[in-house]
Amino acid sequence: MTRSAFAVGLLLLLGGTAGPGLAEEGGWLGAELASTAGNSFNFATRESSSFSGSRVENVTAGSPAAAAGLKTGDVILSVDGRQAEDVEKLVAILQQMPAGSAVRVRVKRDDARLDLNVVLGKRPQGN
């Protein structure tokens, strides 16, 4: 993982900070992420597809990500239908949503695409 990807992943892990047009404190997911892109091929259907998103590097125990079933290796593709092509875009989306927001997170897990329901948390004190 590059230094910038780690820094942005850490920002997401910690919940980010508010700015113009953003929630006072953006919703906290509780995962370390890195931007990724790739292609996949489903041998059963003989279909290929490309994707870009945020690969989950680590899930914090007890976090909203853990409660929703997000796993290391998942790739977050979108939140509530809004494309999250990279970590920076995902952070921008989540910063607009306050803690307590229920969101649908679309992930790529192996060859499947899954929708997970996540209730965003509030950043833990001291982080």
Q: Tens of pLDDT along 40-55?
A: 666 677 666 667 899 9
What backbone torsions phi and psi does residue 69 show, to the nearest 5 degrees?
95, 15
What residues contact 125, with CB distance under 8 A and at least 6 apart?
none
Average the pLDDT over 22-40 and give the result: 78
Q: Which domain holds residue 103?
A: 3-16+29-119
* CA separation for the pair 69, 38 (Å, rounded): 23
DSSP structure string for the chain: --HHHHHHHHHHHHT----TTS-SSBPB--EEEEEEEEEEEETTTTEEEEEEEEEEEEE-TTSHHHHHT--TT-EEEEETTEE--SHHHHHHHHHTSBTT-EEEEEEEETTEEEEEEEE-BPPPTT-
Q: Does a structural domain hold residue 127?
A: no
Q: Which of 9-18, 89-98, 106-115 has the lowest mean pLDDT?
A: 9-18
- Amino acid 127: pLDDT: 56
70 neighbors 37 (Cβ within 8 angstroms): no
Average pLDDT, whole number, for the chain?
80
Strands 47-59 and 112-119: unpaired
Task: Tell me how many domains the chain contains.
Answer: 1
Specify if 106 maps to a domain: yes
The pLDDT of 17-30, averaged and rounded, is 60
pLDDT at 19 > cutoff 60: no
Per-residue confidence (pLDDT) for residue 29, from 0 to 100: 94
Structure tokens at 68: 């929703």
Domain-located, residue 105: yes
Is residue 124 included in any domain, yes or no? no
The CATH number assigned to the domain holding 82 equals 2.30.42.10
Domain membership of residue 125 (yes or no) is no
- In a domain, residue 101? The reply is yes
Q: Is residue 24 part of a domain?
A: no
In a domain, 36, yes or no: yes
Model pLDDT, residue 11: 44
The burial class, CB within 10 Å (0-12 / 13-18 / 19+), for 1 is middle
